Amino acid sequence: MFGKSDDKMSKKELKELEKQRKQQEKEQALLKKYGVEKLHNSQDIESVRRIATSMAGDGFFDLGSALGGANEKDYLRRLYDLAKVQMEQNFILIRQLDELNSKLK
């Protein structure tokens, strides 16, 4: 009775570890794609993930607008997304500058 529940827990734990490993591989591939694989701050890594997610729709938007499917609302939404990307980039820079500043002290 107890042996089976322990086996199930260990299987769950193994499954969770495998899920975490795959997530880390995806994360490293993303960081490598943008040449920032040396980032170690989890906030910076999360910002890169949000930037990449936001920019993933660029190709579809460009194709849709080229085919005449975009209206003013779509353009405004895209401009808003790009502004969010710039804000994320600014926060990465601020955190990096803060880290450099604290190392210089």
Quick one: 45 and 9 in the same domain? no
Domain that holds residue 28: 1-38
Quick one: 86 and 56 in the same domain? yes
pLDDT above 90: residue 55: no
> Rounded CA gap, 57 and 50, in Å?
12
Domain count, the chain: 2
Looking at residue 63, what is its pLDDT? Answer: 62
Quick one: 76 and 102 in the same domain? yes
Quick one: 26 and 69 in the same domain? no
Bigger pLDDT: 31 vs 66: 31
Quick one: 27 and 47 in the same domain? no
Average pLDDT over residues 43-72: 75
Segments in 1-105 forming alpha helices (H): 2-33, 42-55, 58-66, 72-104
28-61: buried (b, 16+ CB within 10 Å) or exposed (e) per residue? Answer: eebbeeeeeeebeeeebbebbeebeeeeeeeeeb
Looking at residue 2, what is its pLDDT? Answer: 55
Write the DSSP symbol of residue 35.
T
Quick one: 46 and 75 in the same domain? yes
Quick one: 80 and 98 in the same domain? yes
pLDDT above 80: residue 80: yes
Average pLDDT over residues 85-97: 92
Quick one: 52 and 103 in the same domain? yes
